[in-house]
Amino acid sequence: MKNKFAAQLYTLRDELEKDFPGVLRELKRMGWSGVQISGLRGYTAEEIAAVLKETGLGTAGMHVSYEALQNELETIVEQAKLFGTRDLICPFIAADLRGEEGYRAVRAKLNEVAAKLAPLGFRLSYHNHAFEFETTVNGVSALEYLLEPSKDNAVLAEVDVYWVKKGGLDPVSFIRPYADRMPIIHLKDMSNDERQTFAEVGTGVIDFIPILQWGEANGIEWYAVEQDVCPGNPLDSLQISLTNLHRMADQLASK
């Protein structure tokens, strides 16, 4: 399992602006097996791909904007090839799309993109926040509508367990329908106070052991750790998360 832990690079967005290659080398030194790409921060795909090859870091997918998936798909696919990943993930949709008709349009458009990607060997997933739970489509939350595990829906899940918890649901119960439809899952913890803000994995209220157990049995290829806001140095926060995840992996392996 330890070879499936990846750092979502949005966590380190400010650090990447200064020294993207140096950050990748530090993540490898810390013991991360992979990273999830979230923008190139002024570097070329070739430059970043060279450092990934140098360090041996895997690529746990790429977060690509809804607009870029529609308008820059050819370029995105070439970048994904360089990075050695087959997973593209839509990380967010604008507020004007968050009504019932908007979500219907988003699902249709993402399926169009997925249909273009499939013959090339690529997969398309959707990453959630909490706002998708505020709208209902066809009697379920907008998120469940977007990720519906049916033959006519090619949009895979990249469930963020923090945002599921923030939306008032139990993460373990929520992910169960997405067996073998979620190659990557997002892990972040929630602080155990009234703020319910972002926390390092293993320091908050979310129980990750059953999430990891489910993931190992149901097709998770990468566990991507993202912490949108860190109390101090984001590298320190990622180190805490990785240390705790390694401890959990050892705990599960000993059972």
Mean pLDDT, the chain, whole residue set: 98
Tell me the per-residue pLDDT of 36-52, one tens digit each, with 9 for 90 and over: 999 999 999 999 999 99
Tokens of 92: 């967010």
pLDDT classification of 255: cutoffs 50, 70, 90: confident
Do 2 and 246 meet the contact criterion of CB atoms below 8 Å apart? yes
pLDDT in tens, 1-21: 999 999 999 999 999 999 999
In the chain, the domains with their CATH numbers are 2-253 (3.20.20.150)
61-116 tens-digit pLDDT:
999 999 999 999 999 999 999 999 999 999 999 999 999 999 999 999 999 999 99
State the pLDDT at residue 50.
98
pTM of structure: 0.97
Residue pair 1/218 in contact (Cβ under 8 Å)? The answer is: no
Residue 217, pLDDT above cutoff 90: yes
What distance in Å separates the CA atoms of residue 152 and residue 121, rounded to the nearest whole number?
18
Average of per-residue pLDDT across 19-44: 97
- Bridge-based pairing state of the strands 87-90 and 222-225: unpaired
Q: Where are the alpha helices (DSSP H) in the chain?
A: 13-30, 45-55, 66-71, 73-83, 100-117, 142-146, 161-166, 171-175, 209-217, 234-253
Q: What span, in angstroms and rounded, lies between the C-alpha atoms of 160 and 94?
A: 18
- Report whether 238 contacts 201 (CB < 8 A): no
Residue range 146-178, pLDDT digits in tens = 999 999 999 999 999 999 999 999 999 999 999
Whose CA is closest to 156, among 171, 138, 177, 139? 177
